[in-house]
Structure 1
């Protein structure tokens, strides 16, 4: 099973930005990045990256580009599914705050899991929800969320087992296409309306960053700039990360 490192530059700031629209950069006086020394130390000591042995990957601007990078690798038979994700980000990127869950639960998940990617409306995939689509398509079988010090749990509960984070399991569900998911969501989560299909459980972990330590080297890496969520003063990381990546 392949192991993918998925990093967002906004993780390496002292504060987290929320609900940003557009790509206007954050104020460097309010959002301070880690130093180059701290950044390199994290990459090398915690993530086991090595300048002498860079790994294949891609530097992207917005984080949903990771979904399409993995899609490329899957289509070329370079990456086999399912794979494991280590998600180092100030946000979970599972779709909290958008209505994507209604499309996933009411339409996409009614297709057999192996056919979901071919039936996916890719216009609905964006930087705040792309992990939910990768999970719904059956690409991922384990996620480790490495948490920013100020992380606030933003994992959308619609896709969790029993709609609860108690068991630390995703379990994607399908519902009849003729019901309005948003309107009947309360009846769905209280069990009044039952799913027509349940996917297998997918475990996840929540790891405070100071407790994080990779146990083996990663096979691929994605590093995302997220310009709307980072100041220009953090852009030096784009050059630094390329010391550890063979871009493909």
Structure 2
């Protein structure tokens, strides 16, 4: 696992901070020390889903069109939400970022920004969300593990499952970003809900590390995946190859404190998972913290 360092820790002068600390195309003030001893810059992305501010969390929306009932799901006040983003996430003003309606759309926004040279992988992601978006409750991992991971890295950015086969969704999109090797490391900041942040398939975690504190995707044939599932996801299963591990941290929101500024801020409305009463908060956060990249 790489060691994350501030520029000051390396004896280098930090860049001037603009807005949330982002530099939109400039070198970020965040460095990583690789296992080989080399130091390289890593951009930092704060990824916010408005459904993080909805209680209780919506897990099974009624349909694609209906919004959750505001009588059953309350939304944090503007003061509470902005206070969290300022005090816990360190946001101090407007900075570059992305606005999306559903979270799977962010995959395409990142892909376009990478192609334009704005977003430079591998980058850090702090995922502030009511859901981990790592596949639990969805089947998109099957296509990813038995097909996508066998493709060249550049082709993985354009997943194309067969008809009837589930691929990239709102609940799996972060797995697909990891499959593209876009992420350097991932932190999931969650609410104190019934899952306690443990909302990821256990078999995507590197269980050989204490606490399973890394995500490591495995490529295998459909037959091998079926056998692996029947074995209870034993570590001695035969894999075609294993992807590089991505350090993964899970943190309760009340214990979270960002240690470095962010270069980009992403915000998703998630209408299936947030009542209509959350739209005002979405617009306020967007207006307060984000200059959209188009």
Whether the TM-score (by the shorter chain) exceeds 0.5 is yes
For the pair 1:185 / 2:244, whether they are aligned, the reply is no
Whether the 8 Å contact between 2:141 and 2:167 is mirrored in structure 1 is no
User: Whole-Å Cα distance in 2 between the matches of residues 180 and 198 of structure 1?
Assistant: 14
Counterpart in 2 of 1:202? 246
Which fold has the larger relative contact order, with Cα–Cα distance below 8 Å and residues 6 or more apart in sequence?
1
Whether the 8 Å contact between 1:101 and 1:158 is mirrored in structure 2 is no
User: Whole-Å Cα distance in 2 between the matches of residues 222 and 165 of structure 1?
Assistant: 31
Q: Name structure 1 gaps, 5 residues minimum.
A: none
Whether the 8 Å contact between 1:59 and 1:247 is mirrored in structure 2 is yes
- SS of the residue aligned with 1:81? coil
Per-residue CA distance 1:123-165 (angstroms, 9 max, x = gap): 8211111000000110002111001121512112232224998
After TM superposition, list the pairs within 5 Å mapping 1:1-248 onto structure 2: 1-20=42-61, 21-51=63-93, 54-118=94-158, 120-121=159-160, 124-152=167-195, 153-162=198-207, 166-176=211-221, 179=223, 181-182=225-226, 185-187=229-231, 189-191=233-235, 193-241=237-285, 242-248=287-293
User: Whole-Å Cα distance in 2 between the matches of residues 227 and 220 of structure 1?
Assistant: 22
Task: Provide the alpha-carbon RMSD of the alignment.
Answer: 2.1
Q: Name structure 2 gaps, 5 residues minimum.
A: 1-41
Compute the TM-score of the two structures, normalised by the length of structure 1.
0.91
| Displacement after TM superposition at 1:184 (Å) | 5.0
Judged with a 3 Å threshold, the aligned counterparts in structure 2 of structure 1 residues 235 and 244 are, in CA distance, closer, same or farther, namely same
User: Whole-Å Cα distance in 2 between the matches of residues 164 and 92 of structure 1?
Assistant: 20
Per-residue CA distance 1:57-93 (angstroms, 9 max, x = gap): 1221101111111101101111111000000001000
User: Whole-Å Cα distance in 2 between the matches of residues 50 and 87 of structure 1?
Assistant: 18
Aligned residues: 244
Whether the 8 Å contact between 1:10 and 1:229 is mirrored in structure 2 is yes
User: Whole-Å Cα distance in 1 between the matches of residues 277 and 210 of structure 2?
Assistant: 36
Q: Which has the larger radius of gyration?
A: 2
User: Whole-Å Cα distance in 2 between the matches of residues 144 and 184 of structure 1?
Assistant: 27
